[in-house]
Chain A
Amino acid sequence: MKTFFFSRHMREKILLTMLLALVGLVWLGRVGRSARVFLLEWRANAAVLATQQQWLNNRAGIEAAAAKSIAHLDPARTFSSPRLLGELSTIADQVGVRNNTASEILGTEPTNQFSVNTVQVAVRNADLPSLLNFYGELDKRAPYIGLEQFSLTVNPANPSLLNAVMRVSSVEINR
């Protein structure tokens, strides 16, 4: 190769060198960009795997903690989504706001040992004592039924009436 190179004319040597240098630079540039992308993907993937591994390593502890968290609950008193809807309807009936109440199942998050069901309840045009009663009845059912979010709005047309929107969740033990 050296003999071939040295036997070329000067302009051929310069052209050959420039051509090779250009190819080398372009190729190295492309490979460099690919390497950077690869590095970013590798880091992201490593982070995901590390997080997953952490969860998997702590599986036994988390399952034990979950079991402990429901140990004091009576499975017979827990509520599935339909039962929760029914219970909320019963409470609304008890406090006299059934006609003003609308409920909607927002979802269920299941695990091996239990599920958590979430329902949104809206009580329209109710007076404050009725709402306090509603809240009081809900509170009595804790920790089987819990309040996660609560908003209260004054009815613009009649400030003595209130609109309440509540996000309620219930525990359902899978046994």
Chain B
Amino acid sequence: MSVLPITKPSASTRKRAVLLADHAFFIRVVPLAEGTLPAEVPGQVELALEGLTPFSVAQLCYGYFAAPGANRVLVYAAYRRKFTVEDAAAWAEADVVLPAFAACLGLAPDHPRALLVAGADFITAIGWDGRTAVPAIVRTRAVEADAPADTRAVVEAELTAQLKDFPTPVKVAAPAETLSRIGDRGLEFPVGDLVSGFTSTQFDAIDVRDKADLAARRRDRARDLFLWRAFLGSAAAIGVAVLLQLGLQGGQLWLKSQGMRAAAQAPAARKIETEMNLANRIEELSTRRLMPIRMLEIVNEKRPRTIQFLRTATKGLYDLEIEGQTNTTPDVFNYQAALKDLPACERVVLGQTTDRGGITHFTLTVTFKPEALRPAPPS
């Protein structure tokens, strides 16, 4: 349960980082058992805090800095009542709240290095041994904001003495809240000429606010982000629809012009088509004339005397449709078979056949071979 509840800020008043005075925190480097998984680190930190302080974890504002593969974790904590309700309100507006020195932890040098971080009312010494990204030692001292230079020099000398196992410390000003930014490596703070960066995994760990509230804020952020992306997606869909609509309107204009072009050249094309069709018909008149009498002669050769033709009609140049009747039904099939055997006939199809009062009515369609109906050359 958070003593200082975090209220939700409005986006317009939100700021990136709140950096607290280092001297408000006690800072310890806690060793981790070998093989500790990243998911187990928060529990180890809480256990360590229970042992290191007379307060319960719920009464503390704490954060920690861990790194993959590191055999230690840097823990910093402050009694929650050190901070006022107004402070908490200001924190609610921030993306991250941490002591100023913690902003330098993202430097993570791969070789031994020491820093003296000078704030308005504190000076903090940080020493990395180069084996892991987690510092081996962090010491902080409070100084009066208006302390004379020689007083500050004494404090710096004292802290430098504690960094005797490290290279000569580099003195840097404490990072400024307003200079924090989201960069290539995540959250970044300028530290002297260097940049201290934190990944998204480290982001919540270094924050000293209540972890449950932070988890809730993270969920809210994820939900807001999802909605924002859905909003953007919908806006993009509308944008695409607008573009398509405009494209279609342009396309309709183009299609209309194409339609007008087709209408304009249709008479000419139709005329050419007609000319070709008529030329073919004239050609047919000379070479492939309709020969209905020759057709009748051929089909009459094999006609049984019992079959009478009622109607014959040509269909195209080579087909003859015969409607006939007979009082001897089998003769219809015999006649069809006889026609099929004729060399002049290509195909004989028996159509509708009905029998009424002993009279069978039938339809035969005979397709002749073109060579059987070839006319004599024009004289």
Where the two chains meet, the residues of A that have a C-beta atom closer than 8 Å to any C-beta of B are: 2-3, 5-7, 10, 13-14, 16-17, 20-21, 23-25, 27-28, 30-31, 34-35, 38, 41-42, 45-46, 48-49, 51-52, 55-56, 58-59, 62-63, 65-66, 69-70, 72-73, 109, 111-116, 132, 135, 139, 142-144, 146-154, 159, 169, 171
Cβ-neighbour of A14 out of B10, B227, B265, B313 (below 8 A): B227
* Cβ-defined contact, B238 with A27, below 8 A: yes
Residues in A with CB closer than 8 Å to B238 are 20, 23-24, 27
Give, as a whole number of angstroms, the nearest-CB distance from B245 to chain A. Answer: 5
**Contacts across chains A and B counted by CB atoms under 8 Å:** 179
* Cβ-defined contact, A142 with B276, below 8 A: no
Residues in B with CB closer than 8 Å to A23 are 234, 238
* Cβ-defined contact, B228 with A5, below 8 A: yes
In the docked arrangement, what's the CA distance between A45 and B266, Å?
Answer: 12
* Cβ-defined contact, A146 with B290, below 8 A: yes
Interface assignment of B314: CB less than 8 Å from any CB of chain A: yes
Secondary structure dominating the interface of A: helix
Question: From residue 256 to 282 of chain B, which have CB atoms closer than 8 A to chain A?
Answer: 258-259, 261-262, 265-266, 268-269, 271-276, 278-282
* Cβ-defined contact, B244 with A132, below 8 A: no
* Cβ-defined contact, A52 with B237, below 8 A: no
Interface assignment of B312: CB less than 8 Å from any CB of chain A: yes
Residues in B with CB closer than 8 Å to A41 are 255
Residues in B with CB closer than 8 Å to A150 are 290, 292, 313-314
Can you list 24 A-B pairs with a CB-CB distance of less than 8 A?
A5-B227, A7-B10, A14-B227, A20-B234, A20-B238, A21-B230, A21-B233, A23-B234, A24-B238, A31-B241, A31-B245, A31-B248, A38-B255, A42-B251, A49-B258, A63-B272, A116-B278, A135-B293, A142-B289, A143-B289, A146-B284, A149-B290, A151-B313, A171-B285
Secondary structure dominating the interface of B: helix
Where the two chains meet, the residues of B that have a C-beta atom closer than 8 Å to any C-beta of A are: 10-12, 223-224, 227-228, 230-231, 233-238, 240-242, 244-245, 248, 251-252, 255, 258-259, 261-262, 265-266, 268-269, 271-276, 278-286, 289-290, 292-293, 296, 308-314, 375, 378
Give, as a whole number of angstroms, the nearest-CB distance from A158 to chain B. Answer: 13
* Cβ-defined contact, B311 with A151, below 8 A: yes
* New A-B pairs, 17, CB < 8 Å, besides A27-B241, A159-B308: A5-B228, A17-B227, A17-B230, A28-B240, A46-B258, A62-B272, A62-B279, A109-B278, A111-B271, A112-B275, A116-B282, A139-B289, A146-B284, A146-B285, A150-B313, A154-B310, A169-B281
In the docked arrangement, what's the CA distance between A147 and B286, Å?
Answer: 11
**Closest residue of chain B to A46, judged by CB?**
B258
In the docked arrangement, what's the CA distance between A166 and B83, Å?
Answer: 114
Cβ-neighbour of B224 out of A13, A56, A135 (below 8 A): A13
Residues in B with CB closer than 8 Å to A13 are 224, 227-228, 231
Q: In the complex where A3-B12, A20-B238, A31-B245 touch, is A56 in contact with B268 (Cβ < 8 A)?
A: yes
In the docked arrangement, what's the CA distance between A3 and B242, Å?
Answer: 25
From B236, B279, B284, residue with most partner A Cβ within 10 Å: B279
Give, as a whole number of angstroms, the nearest-CB distance from A134 to chain B. Answer: 10
Residues in B with CB closer than 8 Å to A169 are 281, 285
* Cβ-defined contact, A3 with B269, below 8 A: no
**Closest residue of chain B to A25, judged by CB?**
B237
Residues in A with CB closer than 8 Å to B237 are 21, 24-25, 27-28
In the docked arrangement, what's the CA distance between A76 and B11, Å?
Answer: 98
* Cβ-defined contact, B234 with A147, below 8 A: no
Residues in A with CB closer than 8 Å to B283 are 69
Which A-B residue pairs are the 3 nearest by beta carbons? A24-B237, A151-B313, A20-B234
In the docked arrangement, what's the CA distance between A21 and B223, Å?
Answer: 17
Give, as a whole number of angstroms, the nearest-CB distance from A112 to chain B. Answer: 7
Q: In the complex where A34-B248, A42-B255, A69-B282 touch, is A152 in contact with B273 (Cβ < 8 A)?
A: no
Q: In the complex where A31-B245, A52-B265, A151-B313 touch, is A17 in contact with B278 (Cβ < 8 A)?
A: no
